[in-house]
Structure 1
Amino acid sequence: MGEVFESVMRGLAEVEAHLGGKKVPGLKAHIPAAFDVARIRAATGLTQREFAGRIGVSRRTLENWEQGRRVPQGPARALLRLIDADPEAMLKRLAA
């Protein structure tokens, strides 16, 4: 049990150092690429309410993504990438 505690404490110390701006060898932080949801939606010509309904999320969720308070994850992120690649074709498929 002592080994587990020590390991957790070392991990917490590394996180604290990282958050304090220090470089921690071996620590890898995942930083998602910038994702411009407002630009993607604008390319479709849809309002927030229309776009949110089309992709199956609340308008509030879409608003949070567009204002940078949240970042789309998982399937939503994949769907937004597909829409970004070909807005017209994807929206046609989503409407069917």
Structure 2
Amino acid sequence: MSDAFKSIETGLQEALAHARGERVGTVHEIELPDPDVQAIRARTGLSQSEFARSIGVKKGTLLNWEQRRRSPEGPARVLLALIDKDPQIVQRTLVR
């Protein structure tokens, strides 16, 4: 058997086991520090309105994050961590 076949067969066996409730898939957790949203946005060179639009949140939400009245959660937190590492990632990846 080829390596590709073995890999596909293994994946199918894992999917069937999961469907029967026999196995739980691997969960990868990533610890993210509390983001300094204002500093992250400043590094992008975008205004509050532009930055909010670029990450798909309302300007009011961004203001609450920047003033630490609220904290980003879930996918927004991950996106901010990516932008913190690479301030132009959204523009480079999504803007054509």
Normalising by the residue count of structure 2, what TM-score does the alignment of the two structures yield? Answer: 0.62
1:79 aligns with 2:79: yes
Percent of aligned pairs sharing the same letter? 55
**Map of 1:5 onto structure 2:** none
RCO higher in 1 or 2 (8 Å CA, sep ≥ 6)? 2
TM alignment of 1:50-61, pairs within 5 A: 50-61=50-61
Tell me, in whole angstroms, the C-alpha distance in 2 between the residues paired with 1:33 and 1:48: 22
Tell me, in whole angstroms, the C-alpha distance in 1 between the residues paired with 2:49 and 2:69: 18
Can you give the 5+ residue segments of structure 1 that lack an aligned partner in the other structure? Answer: 1-31
RMSD: 1.5
TM alignment of 1:20-31, pairs within 5 A: none
Can you give the 5+ residue segments of structure 2 that lack an aligned partner in the other structure? Answer: 1-31
Q: How many residues align?
A: 65
More helix by share: 1
Equivalent position SS for 1:87: coil
